């Protein structure tokens, strides 16, 4: 195979083809790593969301009738109360 490439393209052509193949392999591996990281982050966000829902459900159960007050307090942005 290399002999055929060498005869068809010469040394410079073979070097160029090998360089392109090397760059493509690096690019493909980098994209695969990004996809894996995105998958891992998506799973982590799903788990965090599930845990947060459990936490709020537990708070709602414990708060009972005062849940509306507590919910309002939680949803209030504390940075609005600051005088900067």
Global confidence as pTM: 0.52
Spatial neighbors of 16 by CB under 8 A, at least 6 apart, are 9
Question: What's the pLDDT tens digit per position in 17-40?
Answer: 889 999 999 999 999 999 999 999
- Which pLDDT value is given to residue 8? 77
Name the pLDDT band for 73 (thresholds 50, 70, 90). confident
């Amino acid at each position: 195979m290399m002999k055929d490439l060498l005869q068809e393209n010469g040394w410079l052509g073979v070097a160029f083809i090998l360089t392109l193949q090397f760059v493509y392999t690096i690019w493909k591996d980098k994209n695969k790593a990004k996809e894996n990281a995105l998958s891992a982050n998506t799973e982590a966000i799903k788990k965090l969301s599930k845990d947060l829902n459990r936490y709020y459900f537990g708070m709602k159960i414990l708060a009972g009738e005062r849940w509306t007050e507590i919910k309002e307090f939680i949803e209030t942005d504390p940075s609005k109360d600051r005088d900067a």
